[in-house]
Structure 1
Amino acid sequence: MHSLYILYSESIDKYYVGESKNADIRRNLHNNHHYKKGFTKAASDWVIVLNFECTSKVDALYLENFIKRMKSTKFIKKLIADREILTDILGNRN
Structure 2
Amino acid sequence: MEFIVYILYSKKLNKNYIGFTENLNQRLDFHLNDEQSRKFTHKADDWELIFSIECESKSQGLAIEKHIKAMKSKVYIENLLRYPEMKLKLLEKHKSI
Q: Same fold (TM over 0.5)?
A: yes
Alpha-carbon offset, residue 63 of structure 1: 0.7
Q: Which has the larger radius of gyration?
A: 2
Q: CA separation of 1:45/1:69 partners in 2, compared to 1, >3 Å: closer, same or farther?
A: same
Write the distance in 2 (CA, Å) between the matches of 1:93 and 1:52: 12
Unaligned residue ranges in structure 1 (runs of 5+): none
Write the distance in 2 (CA, Å) between the matches of 1:35 and 1:2: 24
Structure 2 partner of 1:26: 27
Alpha-carbon offset, residue 35 of structure 1: 4.7
- CA RMSD, 1 decimal: 1.8
Structure 2 partner of 1:15: 16
Structure 2 partner of 1:44: 45
Alpha-carbon offset, residue 80 of structure 1: 1.5
Unaligned residue ranges in structure 2 (runs of 5+): none
TM-score with structure 2 setting the length: 0.84
Task: Report the number of matched residues.
Answer: 94
**For each residue in 1:17-74, what CA deviation from the matched residue of structure 2 results, as whole angstroms up to 9, or x when unmatched?**
0011122221121111355322211111111111111111111111110011110011
Determine helix, strand or coil for the equivalent of 2:34. coil
Q: CA separation of 1:93/1:24 partners in 2, compared to 1, >3 Å: closer, same or farther?
A: closer
Identity of counterpart residues, as a percentage? Answer: 34
Alpha-carbon offset, residue 88 of structure 1: 0.8
Alpha-carbon offset, residue 89 of structure 1: 2.5
Structure 2 partner of 1:2: 3
